[in-house]
Homo-oligomer: A and B are copies of this chain.
Amino acid sequence: MTESDTIAPAKTRLLDAALKVIRTKGYVATTLDDLCTEAGVTKGSFFHHFKSKEELALAAVEHWNTLTGGLFAQAPYTQIVDPRERVLAYIDFRSAILQGELPDFTCLLGTMVQETFETHPRIRDACEHGITLHARVVAADIAAAKAQYAPDAPWQPEDVALYTQAAIQGAFILAKARGSAEIAANCVAHLRRYVASLLGIVQDAEPGLPTNPIARGATGKTTKKR
Query: Interface residues, chain A, CB within 8 Å of chain B?
Result: 24-26, 28-29, 102-103, 109-111, 113-119, 124, 127-128, 131, 152-156, 159-160, 162-163, 165-171, 173-174, 176-179, 183, 186-187, 190-191, 193-194, 197, 205-210
- For the complex, what is the distance from the CA of A113 to the CA of B154, rounded to whole Å? 36
In terms of DSSP, what is the predominant structure of the interface of chain A? helix
Which residues from chain B contact A159 at a C-beta distance below 8 Å? 186, 190, 209-210
B contact residues around A206 at 8 Å (CB): 154
Contact B174 A190 (CB under 8 A): no
Are B115 and A29 in contact, with the CB atoms below 8 A?
yes
Complex CA distance for A146 and B140, rounded to whole angstroms: 35
**Contact A163 B178, beta carbon cutoff 8 Å:** no
Q: Tell me the complex Cα distance, A70–B179, Å.
A: 28
Contact of A131 (CB < 8 Å), options: B160, B177, B187 = B177
Contact for A170 among B168, B193, B209, CB less than 8 A? B168
Q: Are A113 and B171 in contact (CB under 8 A)?
A: no
Residue among B26, B116, B170, B209 making CB contact with A156, cutoff 8 Å: B209
Docked pose: A191 CA to B167 CA in angstroms? 9
Q: Which residues of B contact A160 (CB under 8 A)?
A: 190
Among A24, A153, A166, A190, which residue has the most Cβ atoms of chain B within 10 A?
Answer: A166
Contact between chains at B103 and A154 (CB < 8 Å): no
Contacts of A197 in B (CB 8 A): 194, 197
On whether the beta carbons of A117 and B166 are closer than 8 Å, the reply is no
| Residues of B contacting A191 in the complex (Cβ-Cβ under 8 angstroms) | 163
Q: Give CA–CA (A163, B163) in the complex, Å.
A: 13
